[in-house]
Amino acid sequence: MLWKIFLLLLVTGGVFLAGKRQGGREVAVRSRSSHAPGSPGLEERFSERSRLILRLAVILSSAVVVAALLYWLFGAWREGKELTQIRVINAETGTVITYQANRDAIHGRAFTTLDGRQVTLADVERMEIVAPTP
Distance CA 103, CA 66 (A): 26
Whether 12 is in a domain gets the answer no
Count of domains in the chain? 2
Whether 99 is in a domain gets the answer yes
Does residue 88 contact residue 97 with C-beta atoms inside 8 Å? yes
Are 74 and 95 found together in one domain?
A: no
pLDDT value at 27 more than 50: no
- What pairs with residue 97 in β-bridges? 88
Are 87 and 126 found together in one domain?
A: yes
Are 70 and 89 found together in one domain?
A: no
- Each residue's pLDDT tens digit, 75-106: 999 988 899 999 999 999 999 999 999 999 99
| pLDDT score recorded for residue 13 | 82
Residue 52: give the domain boundaries. 46-80
Whether 38 is in a domain gets the answer no
Domain boundary among 80, 102, 122: 80
At 120, which helix (H) or strand (E)?
strand 118-120
Are 54 and 89 found together in one domain?
A: no
The percent helix, strand, coil of the chain (3-state, each to 5) is: 45, 20, 30
Are 94 and 55 found together in one domain?
A: no
Q: Dihedral of CA 69/73/5/16: which sign?
A: positive
Distance CA 62, CA 66 (A): 6
